[in-house]
Amino acid sequence: MPSTARHELPELSRQTRREMHTGVKRWLAIREFTLTRDRFTCQACGRIVAGKGEAHVDHVNGDSHNNPPDGSNWQTLCVPCHLAKTAKENGGFGNSPSNESGSRLTGGGRSKL
């Protein structure tokens, strides 16, 4: 008999909601800064990325915790270039990295392709 129980998200505390809102505001400011600085141009291929969903803001060195205030670890990429960079760096979104022979790495290591 199928379960009728609903999966509900836990209610967030006021502090958690405020922290999430602040994080979103900060990210939007970083994104706008980077896109403007890079003149809405993919830093890999030179394509103009001004349309909705065309621009991704990427961490240059792949470290999402490295966010210097000068923005030196952020770059504007078009979707195809961002997908290619991510695949090269870590096997694609959510995939484990692989080495040059194509075998998967274990232990969280990264291949240097």
Q: Which of 41, 30, 26 is nearest to 76 (CA)?
A: 41
pLDDT of residue 104: 44
pLDDT for 31-73, tens place per residue? 999 999 999 999 999 999 999 999 999 999 988 888 888 889 9
The proportion of the chain whose per-residue pLDDT surpasses 70, expressed as a percent, equals 62
Please give the model's pTM, rounded to 2 decimal places.
Answer: 0.64
pLDDT greater at residue 58 or residue 5 = 58
Residues forming a β-bridge with 104: 98
The pLDDT of residue 1 is above 60: no
Q: Which residue has the tokens 């030196």?
A: 72
Domain positions in the chain: 18-78
Backbone conformation region of residue 15, classed left if phi is above 0, alpha if psi is from -120 to 50, else beta: alpha
55 vs 27: which has the higher pLDDT = 55
